[in-house]
Amino acid sequence: MSRVTSGDAPGTGRGLVLRASGHRPVAAWIAALALAGSLLAPAGAAASASQVTLFEAPAELLGDASRAAALDQIRQLGAGAIRVVMYWHDVAPAADAATRPSFDATDPAAYGDAWGPFDRLVAEAAARGLRVMLTVSGPVPRWATAARRDTVTRPRPAEFRSFMTAVGRRYGGSVAWWSIWNEPNHPRYLAPQSSHGRPVSPRLYRALFLAGRAGLEASGRLAGAPVLMGETAPRASPQDIAPLTFLRGALCLSPSYRRSRRCGRLPADGYAHHPYTTRAGPFFVPPRRDDVTIGVVARLVRALDRAARAGAVRARLPVYLTEFGVQSYPDRLIGVSPARQSDYRSIAELMAYRVPRVVAFSQYLLRDDAPRLGASALLRYGGFESGLVFAAGGRKPAYDGFRLPLVVRARGRRASLWGLVRPAGGAGTTVAVLVAAPRSSSFRRLRVARTDARGYWSARAALRPGQRFRVSWTAPDGSTVLGPPTSAYRF
């Protein structure tokens, strides 16, 4: 969960210009032409057969006072699962001590009441029918590192294996997916990233993944739940290793994807990634080939396929996009307007849906991080403003845009529409498609569209420059959900 500020300055994407229909250019976006040509193909063609929606809201979900309301809200929004990150340092005994305490690290009882917030979250999520993805990560106890100087440098795999045995014994059977480490290509979570210009963190991560998986298996409660590798941050920086560079290093592959004979196949059941983009939007294409943002997820799929052909991972490894969000105002450094946040988030979700190997898409956060009071304008918004609700309260357009995603692609005088009724609950339903004339705030019914069993739908309509669209859905209880006004985009 690192804030993405490296690379191109905000708004400096280069290449094709994406325009809002009837408006000035909204961003200088680079678009992959092959993707652009297929973006709004019929919903059933070459799309993910089953894509779960993950939701992450750590501040609310790990707080006793806010947990129940947040879980209810996430369920009403239509998400099917939550992701929670457990930092080893937060639950370990004497975590800041250089000397390891005497205790049985494989015994959950040895950790006292440190499990409490996670116990309550897992139980309350299950009561609402929400599945749980648990990411276990550094920072780690100081005593579990090689030099014992900090909490991220060279964690000891043997200690991690013991910890994962305890975690497996505590939560095995209650967790739908396990994931090992959060953004291991970022120095906040694992160090060193490199030494004398050569990547180090991939080799460290490989040992930690193997130890963590072995610990889960030793717990006897893995119960067939997938164990994911990766959780990589999207782009290289002077501190971060590029995700595909990291992938090759963790899998003992050369730049040309030749596997070292010293390494066998890594027993991962999926690859997790955080495909954040810049304020230029979801069509931004990073110039470095080893970076992976939402617009170029196909790079990751191709890399995994090459790794599989080299015998480094199993074939057709699923991809889980386990952390993603679009930053909005009030952060004007890397954020976009709230209306554009909703549009960009929906377009990004469509991009994920169009890649068949992507089996999970996520939303990070529910509520924006609190601003730093008294800080300068540059530093005031140093967290994430990717929530569906402002930090001070009040829903953004993306709140209802998350419940009813809508993408409108302008093609001459016609528009292709794609959408999802997220709370439909695995049953077909209908939505009313509404349209407003240019410069009008009054919407009229254009047509009714029928969704498939998963809630997806597509349609076509005539288009005039400057028109806006939205959808209306009536839930089984008779309440009506109205999606936000959505612009048509040419690209």
pLDDT digit string (tens) for 321-344?
A: 999 999 999 999 999 999 999 999
At residue 223's C-alpha, the angle toward residues 219 and 229, to 5°, is 80
CA Rg, the chain, in Å?
23
- Sorted by sequence, the CB contacts under 8 Å of residue 376 that are 6+ apart come out as none
Q: Which two tokens stand for residue 262?
A: 């010293």
DSSP-assigned states of every residue in 23-66 = SSEEE-----HHHHHHTTS-TTSS--S--EEEEE-HHHHT-TTT
Q: Mind listing the pLDDT tens digit for each residue in 245-265?
A: 999 999 999 999 999 999 999
HSE, side-chain direction, 13 A CA sphere, residue 41? 15
Question: Can you point out the beta strands (E) in 121-184?
Answer: 131-137, 177-180
Greatest C-alpha distance within the chain? 72
3-class secondary structure, 240: coil
Go through 229-246 and write b for each residue having 16 or more CB atoms within 10 A of its CB, e for each that does not.
bbbbbbbbbeebbbbbbb
Please give the average pLDDT of every successive group of 10 residues along the chain, which has 491 residues: 35 30 32 38 54 97 98 97 98 98 98 98 98 98 97 98 98 98 98 96 98 98 96 96 98 98 97 97 96 98 98 98 98 95 97 97 98 86 96 97 97 95 89 96 97 95 95 95 94 72
Angle between helices 157-171 and 201-219 (to 10 degrees): 40
HSE, side-chain direction, 13 A CA sphere, residue 34? 4
**DSSP code at position 261:** T
232: left (phi over 0), alpha (psi -120 to 50) or beta: beta
Q: Which two tokens stand for residue 216?
A: 């889960």
Q: Are strands 468-474 and 430-436 parallel, antiparallel or unpaired?
A: antiparallel
- pLDDT value for 33: 32
Cα–Cα dist 69/83, whole Å: 17
pTM for this model (two decimals): 0.91
